[in-house]
Chain A
Amino acid sequence: MKDENIYLALVVILAPLSIAAIGGATGIYAPLQHETVELRSWLTAREFIDLFAIARLAPGPGSMLAPLIGWKVAGISGALLATVALYLPSSVLCYGAARVWNRHRGKPWHRAIESGLSPVAAGLIFSGILALLRLGETGPLSWFTVALVAGLLMWRPKLHPLLLIGCGALVFFLLHVAGA
């Protein structure tokens, strides 16, 4: 009885967030905290903050916090349900848009929209970089790394992402150990 309510509640909370959260994961934290901590008391404030930290440390979008909460309150089936509830509605919408979009490939207006949208996308990429660098958690070392990696890739485009990621992780870790 209680479990059924939890499953239903997960869907009722997450499915609207899937459509309402424009611009990625940051939009879902506040409503998620309100629903799970304040309204339903599934989690204490402390637990929520810990889960938030875990979701940020693990790979994947920050919104993987939702499956983690699902796992915490209703086990593995809760996690699966939370994932589907959070990602299915927005993905179906995106699929529909992509389908309509790709069906008209080659028409003049399609090409016009494509080449008109591309510079907007490039502007959004730079905006995203600036927003992340502004978060305040990043020190001068991060700024330096961003510039270095961008420069390295301009010079040697074939460098594999995993190699760079591994080196970045290692250098930051060693500096942390040396500093501690």
Chain B
Amino acid sequence: MDQTPPVPLGAIYGLFFRIGLFSFGGQLTSWIHREVVLVRGWMTNEEFLSGMALSQILPGVNSTNTAVFVGQRLRGVWGATVAITAMLTGPFFAVILAGIFYKWVVGWDGVQSIMEGVAAVALGMLARMGISAGRGVTKGWAPALAMLVTFVGVGVLRWPMLGVVAVVAPISVLVSYYQVRSDEG
């Protein structure tokens, strides 16, 4: 895996700057997934998804944690620093500009509808990522069940995310551990 030349820090900055700048009204983890896994092949689907699970379990914003995870994986401490700085640069200046032109921005309700449109598209991209990611990782009954129970618990029944993950993840990992072992043995 690691004999490929290291990803340039500039490429990491460029990618996360763009994603940060356009992440209106919803996180664009799906865009990170698209670029990092599908377009550039910097990480495998499972690598990315397990990092995403880690990002959600840990405190902090999911999308910035994902940026830290991807940056760390690609280029260590500098990769992580560059990724999160890039991710926050656009939003930082945008939010202050919005604060300066605040009366104008809040007063014009066309802005609201534009943001709703962007948020809906971001959700659609997320749905598509969930479908393809889900299909990729649920070969067999155990992963499919883990995905379903997580969704029903957290999404439908609105149980606390950490509690559900604390129960489902160890079981799911244990099952796949026995599968990994029997695959090799």
- Measured between beta carbons, the chain A residues less than 8 angstroms from B82 are none
Chain A residues lying within 8 Å of B175, measured Cβ to Cβ, are: 116
Q: List 22 A-B contacts (CB under 8 A).
A: A22-B59, A23-B62, A23-B162, A57-B115, A60-B88, A61-B63, A71-B99, A98-B68, A101-B51, A102-B72, A112-B176, A112-B177, A117-B50, A118-B49, A124-B53, A125-B129, A127-B150, A148-B124, A150-B127, A153-B128, A154-B132, A168-B118
Q: A90-B58, A119-B146, A122-B133 are in contact. List 6 more A-B contacts (CB 8 A).
A: A79-B92, A94-B69, A108-B177, A118-B143, A121-B50, A149-B125
Separation of A171 and B132 alpha carbons in the complex (Å): 26
Chain B residue nearest to A84 in the complex (CB)? B88
Given contacts A90-B65, A123-B146, contact A51 B99 (CB under 8 A): yes
**Chain A residues near B172 (CB, 8 Å)?**
116-117, 119-120
Residues of B within 8 A of A171 (CB): 117
Query: B138, A122: Cβ atoms under 8 Å?
Result: yes
Instruction: Write the B96-116 contact mask toward A (1 if CB under 8 angstroms, else 0).
Output: 111100100110011111111
Q: Which residues of A contact B60 (CB under 8 A)?
A: 18-19, 21, 24, 87, 90-91, 93-94
B residues whose Cβ falls under 8 Å from a Cβ of A: 1, 20-31, 34, 38, 45-47, 49-65, 68-69, 72-73, 76-77, 80, 84, 88, 90-92, 94-99, 102, 105-106, 109-134, 136-138, 143-144, 146-151, 154-156, 158, 161-162, 165, 168-169, 172-177, 179-181, 184
Q: Please tell me if A146 contacts chain B, counting CB pairs below 8 Å.
A: yes
CB of A169 within 8 A of CB of B118, answer yes
Most buried by B among A54, A94, A133, A150: A94
Which of the residues A59, A106, A121 comes within 8 Å of B24, measured between beta carbons?
Answer: A59
The 8 closest A-B pairs by CB, nearest first: A60-B91, A149-B124, A123-B150, A172-B117, A90-B60, A127-B155, A116-B173, A168-B121
Q: Does A45 contact B (CB under 8 A)?
A: no
Given A71-B99, A150-B124, A120–B168 Cβ distance below 8 Å? yes
Chain B residues whose C-beta falls within 8 Å of the C-beta of A120 in the assembled complex? 53, 146-147, 150, 165, 168-169, 172
Would you call the interface of chain B mostly helix, strand, loop, or mixed? Answer: helix
Complex Cα distance, B151 from A105, in Å, reads: 28
Q: Closest residue of chain A to B124, judged by CB?
A: A149
Q: Which residue of B lies closest to A47 (CB)?
A: B102
- The reply on A5 being an interface residue by CB < 8 A is no
Rounded to whole angstroms, the CA-CA distance of A144 and B140 in the bound complex is 31
A59 and B113 in contact (CB under 8 A), knowing A98-B54, A120-B150? no
Given contacts A121-B56, A125-B133, A129-B123, contact A161 B31 (CB under 8 A): yes
Q: How far is the CB of B136 from chain A (nearest CB, A)?
A: 8
Instruction: Pick from A79, A87, A121 the residue with the most CB of B within 10 Å.
Output: A121
- Is A41 interfacial (CB 8 A cutoff)? no
